[in-house]
Chains A and B, each alone.
Chain A
Amino acid sequence: MEGGGGASYQRFPVVKVRETKDDYLKFELRGTDASVANALRRVMIAEVPTIAIDLVEIEVNSSVLNDEFIAHRLGLVPLTSDRAMSMRFSRDCDACDGDGQCEFCSVEFHLRAKCMTDQTLDVTSKDLISSDHTVVPVDFSDALADDSAEQKGITIVKLRRGQELRLRAIARKGIGKDHAKWSPAATVTFMYEPEIHINEDLVETLSLEEKQSWVESSPTKVFDINPNTEQVLVVDPEAYTYDEEVIKKAEAMGKPGLVEIYAKEDSFIFTVESTGAIKASQLVLNAIDVLKQKLDAVRLSEDTVEADDQFGELGAHMRGG
């Protein structure tokens, strides 16, 4: 249209945040198509960096679980990773030649626990002592209303009398593509916004009972009946799961076309839940950053292969893909 050469497909997506908590975010994304929405989703799951324990040196382990078992569990403990975007991948860290032990690319943890009593001792993520106060195991205590005085972390292992666990762990930056422990997203999903049109005239031909049974045919509560006017209303279009039960029901009642439901092809409702490593809102922003960097990399590396290297971190993203 405008511009010189080819047609421009530039669109101006709009984001509207509906609900936000530390680890939960619901927003609308309008004015773009499925590829962009999906790219955002994929990046959130797999390419937003976080910090997670990657190397465990066990000094003493007389617990019932074996070393690999504990190491695996430690890896899956989410760590606060607000620093992650600015941290280096240990594989391209110059300061330590990539062995991942320097302050620029790693965080050291210590865990010392020994059960001295007859009561079973739960070793939790709270027992992990970090060398960096910005990178600590995620604290869930305020997320759950403070019903108990002492909120426990994530259980790593249980010790009985005389058992001991002593270890040193190195946390590094990574992305979810390499291992799920680096994925900051617990849930990232989107849906097409449904557009529901009720054929009012046809609905009026139904009796109240019929309306009731039709409304109830939807497994989710999408429709309701106004108790006063006996009108069928769309209460919550987003509860609709595209199950077509209502359409089938309408057909079964001999009233095809009672309702028409479309999916709006250009608007999406995102639900993002974070593991706690970064805030859900930050997760989205980081994802957009990463996405942008990726696009930059594609744009800039058109000419030369060497261009890859100059992007450092980004090059790694692309090589990983």
Chain B
Amino acid sequence: MEDLRNRSHADVDYRKLAAPIKSAVDKFQLVPEFLKVRGLVKQHLDSFNYFANTEIKKIVRANDKIVSSVDPNLYVRFKDVRIGNPTEALEGIVEDLSPQKCRLTDKTYAAPVLVDVEYTKGSHGGYSLLEKNDVTIARMPIMLRSCCCVLFRKDEDELARLGECPLDPGGYFVIKGTEKVILIQEQLSKNRIIIDTDKKGNINASVTSSTEATKSKTVVVMEKGKMYLQLNQFAKNIPIMIVMKAMGMESDQEVVQMIGRDPRYSALLLQSIEECASLSIFTQQQALEFLEGKLKKLPYANMSTGKEGRAMSILRDVFLANVRVIKNNFRPKCIYVAVMLRRMMEAILNKDAMDDKDYVGNKRLELSGQLISLLFEDLFKTMISEVQKQADNVLSKRSRSSQLDLSMLLVKDIITQGLERALSTGNWDVKRFRMHRKGMTQVLARLSFIGTLGHVTRISPQFEKSRKVSGPRALQPSQWGMLCPCDTPEGEACGLVKNLALMTHVTTDQEEGPLIALCYCLGVEDLELLSGEELHTPNSFLIIFNGLILGKHRRPQRFANTMRKLRRIGRIGEFVSVFVNEKQWCVYIASDGGRVCRPLVIADKGISRIKEHHMKGLLDGARTFDDFLREGLVEYLDVNEENNALIALYEQDATPETTHIEIEPFTILGVCAGLIPFPHHNQSPRNTYQCAMGKQAMGNIAYNQLLRMDTLLYLLVYPQRPLLTTRTIELTGYDKLGAGQNATVAVMSYSGYDIEDAIVMNKSSLDRGFGRCIVMKKYSAVNQKYENGTSDRILRPPRKDDRNKKGENPDWERMQILDNDGIAAPGEIIRPNDVYINKESPIITKGNPKLGGLKDSDYKPSRQTFKGAEGESCVVDRVTLSSDKNYNLSIKFMIRHTRRPEVGDKFSSRHGQKGVCGTIVQQEDFPFSERGICPDLIMNPHGFPSRMTVGKMIELLGGKAGVSCGRFHYGSAFGEPSGHADRVEAISETLVKHGFSYNGKDFLYSGITGCPLQAYIFMGPIYYQKLKHMVLDKMHARGSGPRVMLTRQPTEGRARNGGLRVGEMERDCLIAYGASMLIYERLMLSSDPFEVQVCRACGLLGYYNYKLKTGICSSCKNGDNISTMKLPYACKLLIQELQSMNIVPRLRLADS
């Protein structure tokens, strides 16, 4: 009976699944609303805003006084700090900066850091207290679109006026004219106990402590049944019991109690206790003495650290630095150690209790704001000490006739330059934390719009990439919804470099004090009031706040629920996470920065809190995403708290236990993967490939693309919006800045030039503009000023009828495109070897300036000539004149080249299916249907079976239905149940309605014979991307050409018109084949043949005397036994180099 009922229940479920969805509230609209509020790069902006508004104030407040050590009455105190508007002061004139202006003129987009100071002035007797407001101490590079940026909250019109693209996400900096992104850094979370195994397989518990003052790593390790402490300051492992005793826990019993009375734990601890006893250490004093003996010797032998000794201070300040010792109360630290030990022992008894380092909940993402604040803090402190030193210098030296004004010493160069250098090189050197990180910033990829977005959401790992481990590279179940499962590079960084998912948010720090107070109010029993015994009584949970043990609570679930309720009504920050860990008997509360979290819809007993009227309010604009948050309909969950939630994918799947409902399943993908239609029908690596290729696709870059001066710019002449779109495409703006074209593709074999993924293209389509692209390249010239006051000059070019003194005019033809100012004119056609700037440099640039000015003869021409592909004509698109950072005149040329696709250009669909153009065929030879449809390109069907890109087939079907019915079809990931992707059945119906076969196949005629083709051809539109790899940039051949001076062998590489090397392996093949003459010809005659005079007597090389017309041996001093032979020049070089090292190679010649 029971069984039957269950079955019938299942039946009902099945029918429910098959039924069309109408009941559930469509929550999709929340996604665009979320992105409107938070933006695609909101994590960067939030982080920077937090720094600019809060963190910088904290830093300055913590170091607010500069006191002269010579005269302590002289001081400067910073009262307030803020970041001003982005401006630049040039010769006293303050000018507003805009990002576009900075990009064009190679400036840094920065704003002054203003402080209000209060300082004393005077000497001995009389001091006066003065105040100064708005003192600039530094120029802070400003993140675009952050709260300090001029673009903040600007609408489309205003942005356009500032020369900015409204779709540009911001989140990067402009440093010396280049756009720099600070990559999101992934790290293991700080101040948390992590149980892991080391290389030897020993279980250890490690804590990376990080406070404002210090950073340290504490490891407790289990070795041979005994537990030890590993700390950098100690030379050897320290038995943990000694550490406990040193901290005042002299009683072994208390330690056991603190760890818990379970006999298994005591048993595990026994050996450690015995070891401690065998070392006869029983008191705190003995323990400290023992530790003192194990300390690492400091390089400088200054051992006096006060009366308490170094061991004590290390235990207090370095050992578990995150647990503060207040008034020498070591008890919290002892409890912390006890908890560490307990967690370790749990892990020993039960392997499941081990922590996973790769678990996303154990990771923190460091964003630009945090990184900049780290740097700023260090530089600020450096500046303070510098000012102090300077003041002391002045005060001690001078007889102080004039009064020292400390506020005048607040130099701004240290901070400004430090920040600028770090951002432009990407090297983060913070000496106090021994931090030397490289490659933190990258030049923002501007190859395609999607590439830019993908670059800003990229997460770079902290591990070195060479490690051949699979753990950190594998897909983590916990990254669901937080990090994109598709978007990762191939090759060495595979799985290490990740990308954020669409709805991910990264938290910033939140004030701890009020939260701690709140916890105590909610019934947390203070740690101080608990005995060791009480710590682990059953049914009581430890409350751990940001890695700090606050105390315990007897009703953890109730406590957690209350906290969450407070969060939902907005009494505490929305990003505070509350996580009840049943296994560890702990409640973790986190408010620290760098946690990844995402919004979810709250459900009560499986019923979504969001009702129809809420969504209606949203659509009408009466509500925003923040209202949803405030009303407790939606909340942010971080990875840890997700473990306490039961999240239903769709409302109809919810059960009474469900606590949350996903907003939209496609948001688990990132920006790049969001372009793929029907990605859930593809083999997963294909999606990963497309994520990499989407970044190379040509199209539009930004609305201001033609105003920008990028070094390399690839644009499509007729970019299109994909016929088959996804919701992500609409959200990111890819439909406005597309990078591809909808091509009618026939999947068939044709001409044999389509093997290995090559595609056959229709010549008429190319004539009409398919795949046509514009390549723009920047060339720049600087009108250099020199130290002797001379400078380059730009001259009017010689014209056709001009003659110089000798009556010649050799160069006028190469300078036809120049204007009278000597600079190429925009709109002129420029050919290889044309001069684009007729510049001359002074011959003498050093020493004293020449009197009476320079004559024409004092200059040498330093014209710059254009080097492009032979036979191609480019056009000078734009010329800009600006001053560079050294106030020289800098002239930039954008040179444009329009290209139509040719054989060998690379194309790709959105499904990781790349291919080169194999051949171009006349339209009349192309197959056609009786409707007159003729494909734009033909793709070989062999591309499908092994790649299994079913999504591409559905894209074709959907595209075909789309063009016939005139509605853009959708293919969002996992979108079928929620209506964000069209179903194949529906598409087929549309096709049939418009007279096509339901399966997308057409009856085609051969264009060559006019006969029907033997098979029905799968034909329809697929969005194709043109990738930036084009043969024109790559093809290379050389007959004879330049040689390397040293070896006289041909140069290497296309850029130097180099030769193609017959390498070692090629040579081996030729040897094996016995093609001796070929080897001789390739390796010597075509490379570096050289005629040498060899002395048969001594075997050394001689020389040829042109006067006597004989060869002479320089060691035998005669020409009697000279033979002439051919040798590779490299061999002659080797012989001579060996001779210079006192090795004599002799050649023994024999008749052949």
Contact = CB atoms under 8 A, between A and B. Distances in A.
On whether the two chains bind one another, the answer is yes
Interface of A: 34-35, 37-39, 41-42, 45-46, 58, 61, 64, 66-69, 72, 76, 176-177, 179-181, 183, 187-192, 219-220, 239, 241-243, 245, 263, 271, 273
A189 B929 contact: yes
Interface in B859-909: 875, 877, 896, 898
Interface in B1108-1146: none
Contacts of A243: 997, 1003, 1016
Interface of B: 706, 717, 763-765, 767-769, 772, 774, 827, 875, 877, 896, 898, 922-924, 928-932, 991-992, 995-998, 1002-1003, 1005, 1007-1012, 1016
Given A61-B827, A183-B764, A219 B998 contact: yes
Nearest to A64: B706
B1003 A69 contact: no
Contact of B932 (A61, A181, A187): A187
Nearest to A188: B932
Most buried by A among B717, B774, B932, B991: B932
B875 A34 contact: no
A138 B928 CA distance: 26
Contacts of B928: 189
Contact of B1003 (A45, A67, A241): A241
Contact of A69 (B717, B827, B996): B717
Contacts of A76: 768-769
A171 to B, nearest CB: 16
15 contacts: A38-B1007, A42-B1007, A66-B898, A68-B875, A68-B896, A72-B769, A72-B772, A76-B769, A177-B922, A180-B765, A180-B923, A189-B929, A191-B1005, A241-B995, A271-B930
A179 B767 contact: yes
Given A180-B765, A219-B996, 4 more contacts: A38-B1009, A46-B924, A219-B995, A263-B1012
B1012 A192 contact: yes
Closest 3 CB pairs between A and B?
A38-B1010, A187-B932, A180-B767
Contacts of B998: 219
A176 B827 contact: no
B926 to A, nearest CB: 10
A110 B1121 CA distance: 82
Nearest to B897: A68
A119 to B, nearest CB: 17
Contacts of A220: 995
B897 to A, nearest CB: 9
A242 B998 CA distance: 14
A241 B875 CA distance: 49
Contact of A242 (B764, B768, B992, B1003): B1003
Contacts of B767: 179-181
B101 to A, nearest CB: 21
Contacts of B1016: 243
Nearest to A221: B995
A58 B827 CA distance: 9
A17 B329 CA distance: 106
Contacts of B1005: 38, 189-191
B875 A67 contact: yes
A219 to B, nearest CB: 5
Nearest to B996: A219
A271 B995 contact: no
B24 to A, nearest CB: 33
B1009 A34 contact: yes
A188 B931 CA distance: 9
A85 B898 CA distance: 32
B1000 to A, nearest CB: 11
Given A177-B922, A191-B930, A41 B827 contact: no
Contacts of A39: 1010
Contacts of B924: 41-42, 45-46, 176-177
Nearest to B1003: A242
Most buried by B among A38, A41, A188: A38
Contacts of B1003: 241-243
B922 A190 contact: no
Nearest to B997: A243
Contact of B991 (A34, A189, A219): A219
Nearest to A243: B997
B1014 to A, nearest CB: 12
Contact of B827 (A67, A187, A188, A239): A67
B898 A68 contact: yes
B1009 A35 contact: yes
Nearest to A181: B767
A176 B764 contact: yes
Contacts of B827: 58, 61, 67
A187 B923 CA distance: 11
Contacts of B923: 45-46, 176, 180, 183
Nearest to A34: B1010
Contacts of A245: 997
A263 B930 CA distance: 13
Given A41-B1010, A242-B1012, A69 B932 contact: no
Given A46-B924, A180-B764, A219-B997, A189 B1009 contact: no
A220 B931 CA distance: 12
Nearest to A58: B827
A321 to B, nearest CB: 10
B203 to A, nearest CB: 67
A53 B298 CA distance: 85
A181 B877 CA distance: 26
A66 B772 CA distance: 13
Most buried by A among B764, B996, B1016: B764
A256 to B, nearest CB: 20
A46 B1003 CA distance: 23
Given A69-B898, A242-B1012, A189 B922 contact: no
A50 to B, nearest CB: 13
Given A45-B924, A66-B875, A180-B923, A37 B931 contact: no
Contacts of A61: 827
A271 B875 contact: no
A70 B359 CA distance: 56
Contacts of A34: 1009-1011
A189 B898 contact: no
Nearest to A219: B992
A179 B1010 CA distance: 22
